[in-house]
Chains A and B, each alone.
Chain A
């Protein structure tokens, strides 16, 4: 069972360009989460999606950032008109159920992370 897949692993963009980050969840997982880790900081929640639905985008910057999880294909995190401050590691995670609802101690009550995409904005 392949783990969470993310690509590209490294992405370099110039200021003003667009960045597209892809995430394929683990087989059987229909819940996807995106997190951002700035240099020397902890991971910060960005958005939670199920197939074709954005459930919680409370951590997404108001402008330039969007996310989708279509019926077919990977989840996409899109950053338009990138700026240097967008340089970070972007991690995707997936779970088979909404975490926090499966019950403490359940093997499904957690999220599994992909290897991340390291975005560098020049």
Chain B
């Protein structure tokens, strides 16, 4: 079983749509959680941290369910510029990030 699992997609959505990505992690001792965004052939960039209480940043909402070891990202009112690969990332507490393979999003006009 992979440490961090994501649906690779691609998710093809029209502009303005709402889209949700899910991620599961295997290590119950994991301490912190993130969503990163990676554009083609570029470095990963932090999108947002994920908290148990849920957190929102503009059109983006992240949720963490520790009991189910499940993380989600919701994007509302999708823009063309949201097209990218979204990486679910877990910090297991040993100073190294464990990355999922990413979910690819394609937003079309």
* Contact surface of A with B, Cβ cutoff 8 Å: 31, 33, 35, 41-45, 48, 55-56, 58-59, 89, 91, 93, 98-101, 104-105, 109-116, 118
- A48's partner among B32, B96, B100 (CB-CB below 8 A) is B96
Docked-complex contact A91 and B32, CB < 8 angstroms: no
> Which residues from chain A contact B1 at a C-beta distance below 8 Å?
none
Q: A41-B101, A42-B99, A56-B95 are in contact. Are A112 and B32 (CB under 8 A)?
A: no
Total A-B residue contacts, Cβ distance less than 8 Å: 70
> Which residues from chain A contact B51 at a C-beta distance below 8 Å?
104-105
> Which residues from chain B contact A114 at a C-beta distance below 8 Å?
43
> Which residues from chain B contact A33 at a C-beta distance below 8 Å?
95-97
* A113, B93: Cα distance in complex, Å: 19
> Which residues from chain A contact B99 at a C-beta distance below 8 Å?
35, 42-44
* 13 other A-B residue contacts (CB within 8 Å) besides A89-B41, A100-B94, A104-B49: A33-B96, A42-B99, A48-B96, A99-B95, A100-B31, A100-B91, A100-B93, A101-B95, A104-B32, A105-B49, A113-B44, A113-B45, A114-B43
Among residues of B, the one whose C-beta sits closest to the C-beta of A109 is B32
Interface size range on B against A: 20 to 34
List of 7 A-B pairs having minimum Cβ-Cβ separation, nearest first: A42-B101, A45-B96, A113-B43, A43-B99, A42-B99, A100-B91, A98-B95
* Contact surface of B with A, Cβ cutoff 8 Å: 4, 31-32, 34, 41-46, 49, 51, 87, 91-102
